Amino acid sequence: MQWSDEGIVLGVKRHGEASAILELMTRDHGRHLGLVRGGTSSRLRPTLQPGNTVTATWRARLDEHLGNYTVEASRLRAANYLGAASHAVYGVSHVAALARLLPERDPHSAIYFALEDVLEHLDDAERSGRLVAHFELALLAELGFGLDLAQCAATGVKSDLAYVSPKSGRAVSREAGEPWRDKLMQLPRFLSDHDEEKPSASDVANGFEITGFFLARHIFEPRGLALPDTRRQFIAAVLRALPSAA
């Protein structure tokens, strides 16, 4: 068995004296692990850092085996994160942890490209906040728990969407939701329509409140887990860098 693919490094674990088990989010083969011989060497260690993109070839006698990776650096980003603000360091850890929630070896090309987009802009606090919130939405959808933020659940209108129902995960227009606003979550514009206008800190906080609520309900709590600390730390760092609402 053999294949070659692009992959984003999610993590690496030492194995034996000099080898490492590498976990990649690949473009066509999903989240996939393999052994890298010499993976702890000074030559390979800078390449096998979370957030980097590599070209990988995986070989194994049988498909169900762990197999071996040979890798070449393609896009080395990790060093840039260390020189950026704290949100970049927390951000790469958070999105890598989210990607680990996907079943191993199932292809998820949409998640791969969304993850790549996040990592390319992780040094920009404003843009990375929006992208990570959308990445969380994409992950929910990929795992079968997508939110419907395209139109009002009550009236079907697609304009002036202002709330999200915590019961249904569907958007609600300002007019329809006004009588129940205290029971609904605030829907920032950037979360529902990929708006390019820079969101305020309160907009980003509201967006992460929505994604966090549904991640906890559908993904983490059924596994007996809490939302990870790196998520909280990333959000806090991003909010410190953003302007307050006018």
Contacts (Cβ under 8 Å, ≥6 apart) of 123: 80, 81, 84, 85, 88
pLDDT for 243 equals: 73
Q: How far apart are CA 143 and CA 159, in angstroms?
A: 28
pLDDT for 246 equals: 41
Q: How far apart are CA 41 and CA 30, in angstroms?
A: 26
Classify the C-alpha dihedral 106-110-115-120 as positive or negative. Answer: positive
pLDDT for 195 equals: 62
Q: Which amino acid is at 165?
A: S
210: tokens are 């929505």
- Rounded to the nearest integer, the mean pLDDT of the chain is 94
> What is the set of domains in the chain, with CATH numbers?
2-76 (2.40.50.140), 80-149+187-241 (1.20.1440)
Q: How far apart are CA 48 and CA 31, in angstroms?
A: 15
pLDDT for 226 equals: 95
Nearest CA among 71, 213, 204, 233 for reference residue 145: 213
Q: How far apart are CA 95 and CA 229, in angstroms?
A: 12
Ranges in the chain, pLDDT < 70: 83-84, 194-196, 244-246
* pTM of the predicted protein model: 0.93
Q: Which amino acid is at 8?
A: I
